């Protein structure tokens, strides 16, 4: 009886992703800000990249979406939180001259991927089309 309640609780806790334990960085926030409106428009609420992963995780209003990290770009450890009135960005390190092209590539691809996912979700939700 107790396993019916404990197992789902444990599984939910294992799949939850929290913000990175890194300091918020104003310089990274400035690099992300030009993309904020488009990220909100496609429903992106969080972007997570890890230096040791070839995958970008997007948390969207439709759920989690995964995308390959753009090729040829240095990998970054960063978490971007897209809020209604501002963008928060956290990373252990960020060098604007070196890392801005990677941020631009990640976010441009993230916006495209989320928009594509939204179309698929709409078609699934509206099968009569």
Q: Which of the pair, 29 or 125, is modelled with greater confidence?
A: 29
Q: How many other C-beta atoms lie within 10 A of the C-beta of residue 22?
A: 16
DSSP E strands in 12-116: the ranges are: 44-49, 55-60, 63-68, 78-82, 87-91
Question: Could you state, in order of their start, the residue ranges of all structural domains in the chain?
Answer: 20-125
Among 60, 63, 59, smallest CA distance to 19 is for 59
Reduce the DSSP state of residue 2 to 3 states and report it. Answer: helix
**Distance in angstroms (rounded) separating the CA atoms of residues 36 and 64:** 18
Mean pLDDT of the residues in the chain: 85
Of 45, 50, 74, 71, the closest CA to residue 60 belongs to 45
Residue 102 has pLDDT above 90, yes or no: yes
Please name the helix (run of DSSP H) or strand (run of DSSP E) that holds residue 123, with its range, or none.
helix 96-125
pTM for this entry: 0.78
Tens digit of each residue's pLDDT (9 = 90 or more) over 6-37:
445 544 444 444 554 678 999 999 999 999 99
Higher pLDDT, 102 or 123: 102
Question: What is the distance between the alpha carbons of residues 79 and 47, in angstroms, rounded to a whole number?
Answer: 6
Query: Pick the residue with more confidence: 102 or 6?
Result: 102
Distance CA 1, CA 39 (A): 43
């Amino acid at each position: 009886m107790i396993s019916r309640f404990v197992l789902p609780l444990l599984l939910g806790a294992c799949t939850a992703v929290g913000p990175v334990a890194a300091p918020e960085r104003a310089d990274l926030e400035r690099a992300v800000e030009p993309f904020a409106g488009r990220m909100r428009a496609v429903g992106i609420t969080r972007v997570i990249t890890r230096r040791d992963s070839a995958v970008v995780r997007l948390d969207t209003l439709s759920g989690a979406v995964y995308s390959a990290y753009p090729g040829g770009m240095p990998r970054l450890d960063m978490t971007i939180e897209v809020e209604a009135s501002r963008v928060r960005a956290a990373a252990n390190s960020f060098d604007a001259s070196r890392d801005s092209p990677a941020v631009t590539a990640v976010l441009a691809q993230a916006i495209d991927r989320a928009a594509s996912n939204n179309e698929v979700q709409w078609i699934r939700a509206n099968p009569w089309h």
